[in-house]
Amino acid sequence: MTVPVEQELSDEQLMKRYLAGHPSAFQELMARHGQKIFNYVLRQMRDPSVAEDLTQEVFLRVVHRAQTFREEARFTTWLFSIARNLCVDTARKAKHRRTVALDAPLDRSGDGGATMLDRVADGGPGPDRRTRDKRFRECLDSAMARLPDEQREVFLMREVEGLKFREIAEVVGIPENTVKSRMRYALESLRVSLAAFREEP
């Protein structure tokens, strides 16, 4: 079975191919990064419907700004810059930022269903630890919500999305040492907030 050419190309090569008139290259980029961007935006905005809308907007902006992409740049850095700026702009415009629990149903009809946590791959332990895991996730969610915005975004980009410090520095527009400092403060704050779970079996 022949592997589609797009799957063998780097993100940067896909952008070049898309600019040359191959829509399938853009579809491959969305397949690779759509869920990552959704997860990032969801954790920033804490509202699944907003995250869905903003994720679509991120990729619309990729289409509209495709000509501005520099071939020597990393696509993921450029993509997260777009997502980050969109989150910042949306948060500024929102007069009241609604907080949604991680275990709130995505279906707002009241019929239950999948939760935000279900949207993110969960490789956790078996059923016997679900109660404790649920309490831990709620505590982590609460602790992350209390982090200053600049610390939370660095933590998410580094620990959740796997960006390197220099990439985060480029996305946020600050020196790499400042990124590392924010990460250090975020980890220390989370460590203190989650201290109650350290001694549990």
pLDDT in tens, 34-84: 999 999 999 888 899 999 999 999 999 999 999 999 877 899 999 999 999
* 3.20.20.140, 1.20.210.10, 1.10.260.40, 1.10.10.10: CATH of 122-193: 1.10.10.10
Rounded to 5 degrees, φ, ψ at 141 are -60, -45
At the topology level of CATH, where does 1-110 sit? Rna Polymerase Sigma Factor; Chain: A (1.10.1740)
- Cα(160)–Cα(42) distance, rounded to whole angstroms? 12
pTM of the model: 0.70
Show me where the domains of the chain are located: 1-110, 122-193
| Identity of residue 84 | R
Kindly calculate the radius of gyration of the chain based on its CA atoms and give it in whole angstroms: 19
pLDDT band with cut points at 50, 70 and 90 for residue 101? very low
CA-angle at 38, arms to 78 and 124, nearest 5°: 120
- Cα(181)–Cα(170) distance, rounded to whole angstroms? 15
